[in-house]
Structure 1
Amino acid sequence: MSATPFRFKQFDIHQDRCAMKVGTDGVLLGAWVSLEHRPHAILDIGAGTGLIALMLAQRSDAMLIDALEVDDDAFEQCVQNFEASDWNDRLFCYHAGWDEFVDEMDDTYDLIVSNPPFYTADYRAEEDNRAMARSNFSLPFEELLSGVPKFLNPGGVLAMVAPYAEEDKIIKLAAQAGLYPKRLTRVKGHAEAPFKRTLFEFSSEESAPETGELVIEKERHVYTEDYITLTKDFYLKM
Structure 2
Amino acid sequence: MKIGTDGVLLGAWTDISNAESILDIGTGTGVIALMLAQKSCAEVIDAIEIDSDAYEQSVENFESSPWGNRLYCYHAGLDEFIEEVEDLYDVIVCNPPFYTENVASGDLQRDQARQNEFLPFNELLDGVSKLISENGIFSTIIPFKERDGFIQLAAYYKLFPSRCMHVKGNPSAEVKRVLLEFTRQEKECEMLNLTIEKERHVYTVDYINLTKDFYLKM
- Give yes or no for TM over 0.5: yes
Indicate yes or no: 2:33 matched with 1:53: yes
Structure 1 distance, partners of 2:77, 2:37, is: 22
Any unmatched runs of 5+ in structure 2?
Answer: none
Structure 2 distance, partners of 1:142, 1:153, is: 19
Partner secondary structure for residue 68 of structure 1: strand
Q: What is the match of residue 72 of structure 2? A: 92
Q: What is the match of residue 30 of structure 1? A: 11
- Paired AA for residue 42 in structure 2: A
- Paired AA for residue 33 in structure 1: T
TM-score (norm 2): 0.94
CA contact (8 A) 1:215 1:227 kept: yes
- Paired AA for residue 38 in structure 2: Q
**Aligned residues with identical type, % of pairs:** 56
1:152 to partner: Cα distance: 1.2
After TM superposition, the runs of 4+ consecutive aligned structure 1 residues lying more than 6 A away are none
Pairs within 5 Å for 1:82-121: 82-121=62-101
136-145 or 218-227, larger mean C-alpha shift: 136-145
TM-score (norm 1): 0.86
CA contact (8 A) 2:96 2:116 kept: no
1:34 to partner: Cα distance: 1.3
Pairs within 5 Å for 1:161-176: 161-176=141-156
* Aligned partner (choices 111, 120, 135) of residue 132 of structure 1: 111
Indicate yes or no: 2:211 matched with 1:231: yes
- Paired AA for residue 180 in structure 2: F
Structure 2 distance, partners of 1:196, 1:148, is: 24
Q: What is the match of residue 187 of structure 1? A: 167
Structure 2 distance, partners of 1:146, 1:29, is: 20
CA contact (8 A) 1:41 1:62 kept: yes
112-121 or 78-87, larger mean C-alpha shift: 112-121
CA contact (8 A) 2:100 2:116 kept: no
149-158 or 209-218, larger mean C-alpha shift: 149-158
1:71-124, CA deviations, whole angstroms, 9 ceiling, x for partnerless residues?
A: 000000000000000000000000000111123321111000000122234x96
Q: What is the match of residue 140 of structure 2? A: 160
Q: What is the match of residue 125 of structure 2? A: 145
Structure 1 distance, partners of 2:161, 2:12, is: 19
1:131 to partner: Cα distance: 4.8
1:147 to partner: Cα distance: 1.4
Aligned-CA RMSD value: 1.8
